[in-house]
Chain A
Amino acid sequence: MAKALTGLAAKAPGLIKGVVDYSTPKLNTFWHYARVELTPPTPADIPKITQGLNSLVKSARTGKWKEVPVKEAWLNTLITAEIAFWFFVGECIGKGTIVGYQV
């Protein structure tokens, strides 16, 4: 056990460098996409958000939602499902465990 620990401590700088070298390009690509796609909306986007909500409400009111092509309707369903899944991810974060409430 002691020998394994000293061996690990001797190899640790090399291991850490290996991990960093492997993960840096991957983190860079992740950051490249996340900076555009995953950032929260800024206050500058508020008019676009209200515009989007109004168009949804109008489409529901006028019956335009019945004219939407099936492919687009399927995409909208998937996006709605993804937004619902984020709620459950948030719930898991809020309660502290993945499965069940540990009271």
Chain B
Amino acid sequence: MAALAPVQVSPLIKFGRWSALLLGIMWGSHRYNTLKASETAWRVEEAERKIVKDAHKATEKTRLNREELLYLADQAGVKVPPNF
């Protein structure tokens, strides 16, 4: 292919392209910052809720574990030690 001369692009098109690029960069960074702020806020709340949830789950687990062992002891005829 013979070397083509560079096309004289209309200034309106060049203006449109560059302004679209700059607007896109601004929009992208703005949206990223907004989403990051709300996500970090949610993560902080979730961390607080996690402490409560984990404590609750731990107590539930020990309770269910104890009841399961009591049931198994009852089924197997094993004598349950006092203060279990």
- A37 lies within 8 A of B9 (CB): yes
Q: Once bound together, how far apart are the Cα atoms of A101 and B9, in whole Å?
A: 34
Closest to B3 in A: A29
Q: Provided the pairs A33-B6, A40-B18 are in contact, do residues A49 and B29 lie with their beta carbons within 8 angstroms?
A: no
Q: Please give, as numbers and ranges, the residues of chain B lying within 8 Å of A86 by CB-CB distance.
A: 17-18, 20-21, 24
Is there a chain B Cβ closer than 8 Å to A70's Cβ?
no
Enumerate A6-51 residues with CB–CB distance to B below 8 Å.
29, 32-33, 35-37, 39-41, 45, 48-49
Chain A interface size range = 20 to 34
Closest to A92 in B: B28
Q: Please give, as numbers and ranges, the residues of chain B lying within 8 Å of A90 by CB-CB distance.
A: 20-28
Q: Provided the pairs A86-B17, A103-B39 are in contact, do residues A49 and B24 lie with their beta carbons within 8 angstroms?
A: no
- A45 lies within 8 A of B15 (CB): yes
Q: Once bound together, how far apart are the Cα atoms of A33 and B12, in whole Å?
A: 18
Q: Provided the pairs A48-B12, A83-B13 are in contact, do residues A95 and B29 lie with their beta carbons within 8 angstroms?
A: yes
Closest to B30 in A: A94
Q: How many residues of B contact A (CB 8 A)?
A: 31
- Interface SS, B side: helix
Q: Write 25 A-B pairs (CB below 8 A) sorted by A numbering.
A: A29-B3, A36-B8, A37-B9, A39-B14, A40-B18, A41-B11, A41-B14, A49-B11, A82-B17, A84-B20, A86-B17, A86-B21, A87-B21, A90-B20, A90-B24, A90-B28, A91-B28, A92-B24, A94-B28, A94-B29, A94-B31, A95-B32, A96-B32, A101-B31, A103-B40
